[in-house]
Amino acid sequence: MSISKFTIKDYTLIKKEWEALRKVAAERCRDEEELSVVQKAFDFANGAHRNVRRRSGEPYILHPIQVASIVVNEIGLGYKSISAALLHDVVEDTDYTIEDIRNLFGDRIALLVDGLTKIKTVLDNEDRKRGPMTSTESIQAENLKRILLTLNDDVRVVLIKLADRLHNCRTIEFMPEHKRDKILSETMFIFIPLAHRLGLYGVKSEMENIWLRFKEPDAYKEISEKVSRNVAERDSEINDFIIPIETALKQADIPFVIKKRIKTPYSIWFKMRNKKVPFEQIYDLYAVRIIFDQSLDPDAERRRAYLIYSILIGLYTSQQSRFRDWITTPKSNGYEALHCTLMSRSGFWIEVQIRSRRMDDIAEKGIAAHWSYKNNGYISEEDSEMDKWLKKVQEILVSTDVNALELLDIIHKDLITTDIVVFTPKGEQRSIQNGATVLDFAYSIHTHIGNQAIAAKVNMKLTPLSQVLRSGDQVEIITAESGQPKVEWLQFLQTRHARNIVTEFFRRNRRPLIEKGKEIYTERLSVMGVERTQENLKKLLKATMLNDASELYFRVGLGLLGPEEFRETFSVVKQMPDSRGYVLSLCCKPLPGDPVIGFKADDGTVIVHKKACPEVEKLALEYGSSRFVVVKNFESEFEEFPVRLSIRGIDKRGLLSKISQFISLTMEINIREIHLGGKDGVMEGYIEMLVHDKNNLEAMIRGLSQIDGIQDVVRTDI
């Protein structure tokens, strides 16, 4: 921020932005009295921020105005939240106090502003911390805890904070690069998962795309251009797909609107990276959304959704494996809809989403719309999945005796976890974490059922307790009175709830497991050639996010901490030095030409990561921006860098020879490792090689892709 007297142009801009906000606020306010509070909040904030400018040079007051606009337009909150958004920086950045806000605007608006001020104070102060940090000192972990604790007071604090973060992301190009990367990493680790859990699809998607635009600019540009070309080619075909649907729905006398949706650049990039496929194999680029009138009671609303579905599958061939019923069992963020995937008459699959207007409001505006409809009687008074999640987070915050970093890890995993639907023997639907096992399901029903489980039947077939469940499975747990938890269960249990129950069961006899853990700890260090020193013990405690050595030994003895945690902590081959004095991280294998960021270690060494490396997100959360530096001159004509390519194609005779000749002879590149195998006519595997830079790698990918028989070539470093 800077101080500079406003010009006539500045005042004109402020007036224009305020009038636009006032117009939408008037539509949201119930009467003139509420609107007068919003007007009063603007006048107060405008005076408090007079002549103050942002880094962009614009008047500072434009930021609160834009945050308030997001609050009303994209989240759908009322006059108190709009007022709090306008006032959210006043206490932190001026001489006014919370008491001043309380005296002028009342207790509730003061509480919202106070919550936002406390969050901002932690965020701004974390960069002032310097030097090595212990596992209990993560400012960002404490920040997440502070944010989530506001759920106990008023969830609107979190919603307004998300609006604030979204606007900061929209103007992030004015931030210094190292600060920008910290903010983006923090956004990806905390705020995007929060927006997802609170059902704010629009907010989440925009923040994801901004993250990709700055973290992987080349990928963002390439994907965006391909999407634009694809849409131009397919737009008329999608319109042809929609016409018969419109005709059929009109004949059925169903009020509706139809919208077209294109997959976002970030979601495409994420799927390409996770599935290790090229853009051409992203088949769900398009979706058609049917939104029907919701002025019905809940039962009639559901019946209308299923009626529309029956009309659709009468028109087009349906891919049954892709049908999703989020109406019978809504997602944990309150999302409801029917999803089906239909084959267009021009020969490509299109996802169709069926929602009422109420469901669409909740899908776009999340928790605010959810509770609005609940208060109006459209949603059952019983706890919804959203309400259950909020209660679960509050219970974790209040009851969990863990340090801040471990809490951060627990909450982050919970935020990004998706659910599947399974059935009891009587046909009752239950949601459970994707990847959960039969035993996790047993513990989700009742502790005693989990403790006494000995086997199960999944879809009427006998299966072990370690069987991973799939959506739609019907599960019957077989128990025995003499059954009790076994240590080996911890090797396959996936849900935190089940793992905690089993862990606590063995705490009753903790001492022998601690002694066993000490022996294993000593043996593992000896095998790795690592000294058993207090310093190395502290290093492992920090890596495992534990405070107490006896707890570490207990978890080692129980099998919760295996050899991989030791290898990750004490491995001496975690980075590769280069001649410029940098150390290149092997977790993401950056190349000259990649967007990179440097992290300064305790000994002063600068470790270079790709900006999109997941490790950067964790480092930003633990250390803030004080340890990040801009890496310059990351170019070289002579050095070689390791990279891995995943390859898939048709298993033809001589294909391996063509691949190796192209790499070694045509490209003159050294192959470090090659692993290709053929099965049922399909060849797939990977090749590790040394390349000079990103351009060298891209030339390699283009050349390999042109070899007859090869279908996909994808870089898979991370």
Q: State the SS3 of 28-83.
A: HCCCHHHHHHHHHHHHHHHHHCCCEECCCCCECCHHHHHHHHHHHHHHCCCHHHHH
Domain match, 59 and 169 both: yes
Domain match, 168 and 226 both: no
Contact partners, residue 223, CB within 8 Å, separation at least 6: 265, 268, 269, 279
Last residue of a domain, one of 143, 174, 205: 174
Residue from 620, 599, 597 nearest 126 by CA? 620
At residue 634, does pLDDT exceed 90? Answer: no
CATH number of residue 132's parent domain: 1.10.3210.10
**Dist. CA 654–CA 665, nearest whole Å:** 16
Q: Is 608 left (phi over 0), alpha (psi -120 to 50) or beta?
A: beta
Under DSSP, the state recorded for 560 is S
pLDDT tens for each residue of 660-678 = 888 888 888 888 888 888 8
Domain match, 52 and 160 both: yes
- Given pLDDT bands bounded at 50, 70 and 90, which one contains residue 113? very high
Determine whether 354 is exposed, middle or buried from the number of CB atoms within 10 Å of its CB (0-12, 13-18, 19+): buried
Helix, strand or coil for residue 399? helix
What is the total count of domains within the chain? 3
Helix, strand or coil for residue 379? coil
Residue with tokens 């659709």: 312
Candidates 27, 31, 33, 92; catalytic one: 92
pLDDT tens for each residue of 323-334 = 888 888 787 667
Distance of CA 642 to the CA centre of its chain: 28
Mark whether 640 is an active-site residue.
Answer: no
**Dist. CA 177–CA 150, nearest whole Å:** 31
Mark whether 153 is an active-site residue.
Answer: no
At residue 150, does pLDDT exceed 70? Answer: no
Most confident of 166-175, 635-644, 654-663, 679-688: 166-175
Domain match, 250 and 324 both: yes
- Given pLDDT bands bounded at 50, 70 and 90, which one contains residue 33? very high
HSE at residue 433, side-chain half, CA atoms within 13 A, is 20
Last residue of a domain, one of 174, 198, 231: 174
Candidates 74, 89, 93, 383; catalytic one: 93
Residue 8 included in any domain: yes
The count of other CB atoms within 10 Å of the CB of residue 186 is: 22
Domain range for 126: 2-174
- Average pLDDT of the residues in 142-153: 65
Domain match, 40 and 150 both: yes
Residue 503 included in any domain: no
Domain match, 356 and 237 both: yes
pLDDT tens for each residue of 433-452 = 888 999 999 999 999 999 99
pTM of the model: 0.76
HSE at residue 453, side-chain half, CA atoms within 13 A, is 29
Residue 633 included in any domain: no
Q: Is 624 left (phi over 0), alpha (psi -120 to 50) or beta?
A: left
In this structure, are residues 233 and 286 in contact, taking their beta carbons and an 8 Å threshold?
Answer: no
Residue with tokens 């919208």: 259
Residue from 420, 380, 354, 392 nearest 299 by CA? 380
